[in-house]
């Protein structure tokens, strides 16, 4: 496919694709999904090899948020049954972080619900960063505390934070549809503040909230313009009790196309699969490792992920390896530029904010193409019948020729008939296959309609007496 060859070439050169090319990736059919993964996988391997960076979420403060982000189970007045607690003490947060680090994570993402931190909150988080780094000198710490006021990014950087996460989530045009208590511009401003303070900027999106392909391309191009070091891609988990609870629109193939598009637009950036990985990619999660070079280990902020051990087994089985604490995540040119997720002394990494927890997915499409009819068969060959002509009898020879011609004609007719029968059979088979494919797709669509069985509110880890999942 010319499109994919072009996108691989551009990705290897860090050249921005056109919007039309990005849209075309999202418009590819399910039949082409392996080609899309293979192409984007070449770009991923060029910049990140087969390494997978593991990140671990610690929810410092859960629920009770005054904002109204419609995808979030921590929003004002939400009735989602999530854990609600105020700030963890530094020792509690450090203990939770230790579980993730023991499981193989190299970055800890410290997240707190709320519009943004007070200066007192920044001091609390500074104490938590100190407690974590005292026990784990090499750990990357990313803070995710909401909108930042003047000077707060600098104070976090001085306290030892390596990165700051604040997601754009969706396109500027649709931002007002998902949140009314702050604006898209507010979010852009915070990402810029983090960048300017020398923190490694982390900013991503949520797919599956009812947005169009154009919206997805808009937000990914906006992210490229902001130039974060890492881009978390969330697939909306439609948690019961949130306004987006009915938005079950994503298919595993759609998720792969979205990740591939992000990889092509942001080729040398840490692309992280965030919330919704297990719910929407399901058994295709290993394929997504060919596109993203980073995932969260264990649970999300408010919902459960698969067991940490299962994450590690999946990585090994798919032929990837967990990135070590002594390895630099970003390509040399990016790490040297000062951002450097994973480049320790550089500036760190990023986490995911805003929810991680309940993000579902939507996005519809899923279409797919009917089964291809396969190359029609050819009829039998008419074979040149030989004649045994009598040398002396021209008439005999003519007769023989005539017979031979008749025989040929008969064979040709027979072959045509056979070919017609074969074609008819193939057409029927194709129709049957197409019908089966349609049925399978219908089933898949039904299955996708609501996989509430895969959504579980987190009941363990930080903020509870139960052991964390890592
Ligand atoms: S995403 Fe963040 S700001 Fe929005 S409701 Fe959730 S916790 Fe509050």
Confidence of residue 346 (pLDDT cuts 50, 70, 90): very low
At 400 the pLDDT is 44
Sequence spans of domains, the chain: 2-366
Mean pLDDT of 59-87: 93
Residue nearest (by alpha carbon) to ligand 1 atom 7: 113
pLDDT band at 426 (very low <50, low <70, confident <90, very high): low
Between 379 and 436, whose confidence is greater? 436
Ligand 1 centre to CA of 74 (Å) is: 6
Per-residue pLDDT at 35: 98
**Mean pLDDT of all residues in the chain?**
83
The Å distance, Cα 350 to ligand 1 centre, comes to 17
Highest mean pLDDT among 52-66, 339-353, 416-430: 52-66
How high is the pLDDT of residue 421?
52
Q: Is 142 a catalytic residue?
A: yes
pLDDT over 80 at 320, yes or no: yes
Q: Is 167 in the pocket of ligand 1 (CB under 6 A)?
A: no
pLDDT of residue 78: 86
Task: Pick the catalytic residue from 51, 69, 144, 458.
Answer: 69
Is the shortest distance between the CB of 69 and ligand 1 below 6 Å? yes
CB proximity list for 197: less than 8 A, separation 6 or greater: 153, 154, 156, 157, 164
Q: What is the C-alpha to C-alpha distance for residues 384 and 404, in angstroms, rounded to an integer?
A: 8
Largest CA distance in the chain: 118
Would the CB of 144 count as within 6 Å of ligand 1?
no
CB 269 within 8 A of CB 29: no
424: pLDDT strictly greater than 50: no
Rounded Cα distance between 308 and 469, Å, is 6
* pLDDT greater at residue 328 or residue 379: 328
Q: What are phi and psi of 112, to 5 degrees?
A: -135, 135
Contact call for residues 350 and 141 (beta carbons, < 8 A): no
Best residue among 60, 63, 66, 74 to mutate for probing ligand 1's pocket (most ligand atoms within 8 Å of CB) is 74
pLDDT of 449 above 90 = no
pLDDT at residue 310 tops 90:
yes
Q: Looking at ligand 1, which atom is closest to the CA of residue 75?
A: 5
**Predicted confidence band of residue 460 (pLDDT cuts 50, 70, 90):** confident
Percent of the chain with pLDDT over 70: 76
Dig out the tokens for 325 from the structure. 């604490």
**What's the pLDDT band for 397 if we cut at 50, 70, 90?**
very low
Distance CA 42, CA 4 (A): 11
- Residue-level pLDDT at 131: 98
Q: How confident is the model at residue 448 (pLDDT cuts 50, 70, 90)?
A: low
CATH superfamily of 2-366: Aldolase class I (3.20.20.70)
The pLDDT value given to residue 383:
31
| Average pLDDT over every residue of 406-413 | 52
pLDDT band at 128, cuts 50/70/90?
very high
For ligand 1, whether the C-beta of 132 sits within 6 Å is no
Q: So what's the pLDDT on residue 382?
A: 31
The distance of Cα 463 from the centroid of its chain, to the nearest Å, equals 28
Among candidate residues 254, 263, 272, 451, the one labeled active-site is 272
């Amino acid at each position: 496919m010319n499109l994919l060859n072009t996108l691989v070439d551009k990705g290897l050169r860090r050249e921005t694709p056109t919007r039309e090319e990005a849209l075309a990736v999202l418009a590819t059919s399910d039949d082409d999904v392996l080609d899309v993964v293979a192409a984007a996988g070449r770009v991923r391997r060029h910049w990140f090899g087969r390494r997978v960076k593991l990140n671990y979420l610690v929810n410092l403060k859960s629920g009770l948020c005054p904002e109204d982000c419609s995808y979030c189970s921590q929003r004002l007045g939400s009735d989602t049954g999530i854990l609600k607690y105020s700030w963890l003490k530094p020792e509690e947060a450090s203990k939770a972080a230790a579980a993730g680090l023991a499981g193989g994570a190299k970055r800890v993402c410290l997240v707190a619900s709320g519009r943004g931190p007070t200066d007192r909150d920044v001091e609390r988080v500074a104490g938590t960063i100190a407690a974590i780094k005292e026990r784990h000198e090499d750990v990357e710490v990313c803070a995710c505390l909401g909108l930042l006021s003047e000077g707060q990014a600098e104070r976090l950087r001085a306290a030892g934070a390596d990165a700051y996460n604040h997601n754009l989530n969706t396109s500027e045009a649709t931002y007002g549809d998902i949140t009314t208590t702050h604006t898209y511009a507010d979010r852009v401003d915070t990402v810029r503040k983090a960048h300017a303070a020398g923190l490694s900027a982390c900013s991503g999106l949520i797919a599956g909230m009812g947005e169009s392909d154009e919206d997805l391309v808009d937000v990914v191009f906006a992210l490229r313009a902001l130039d974060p070091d890492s881009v978390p891609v969330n697939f909306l988990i439609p948690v019961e009790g949130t306004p987006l609870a009915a938005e079950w629109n994503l298919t595993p193939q759609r998720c792969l196309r979205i990740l591939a598009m992000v990889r092509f637009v942001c080729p040398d950036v840490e692309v992280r699969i965030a919330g919704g990985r297990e719910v929407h990619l399901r058994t295709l999660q290993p394929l997504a490792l060919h596109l993203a070079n980073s995932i969260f280990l264990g649970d999300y902020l408010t919902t459960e992920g698969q067991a940490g051990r299962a994450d590690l087994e999946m990585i090994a089985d798919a032929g990837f390896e967990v990135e070590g604490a002594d390895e630099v995540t970003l390509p040399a040119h990016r790490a040297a530029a000062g951002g450097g997720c994973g480049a320790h002394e550089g500036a760190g990494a990023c986490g995911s904010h805003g929810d991680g927890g309940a993000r579902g997915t939507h996005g519809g499409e899923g279409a797919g193409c009917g089964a291809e009819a396969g190359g029609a068969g050819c009829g039998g060959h008419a074979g040149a019948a030989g004649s045994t002509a009598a040398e002396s009898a021209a008439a005999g020879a003519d007769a023989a020729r005539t017979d031979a011609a008749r025989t040929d004609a008969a064979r040709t007719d027979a072959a045509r008939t056979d070919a017609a029968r074969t074609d008819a059979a193939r057409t029927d088979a194709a129709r049957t296959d197409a019908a089966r494919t349609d049925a399978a797709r219908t089933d898949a669509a039904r299955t996708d309609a609501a996989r509430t069985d895969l959504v579980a509110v987190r009941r363990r880890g930080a903020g509870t007496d139960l052991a964390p999942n890592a």
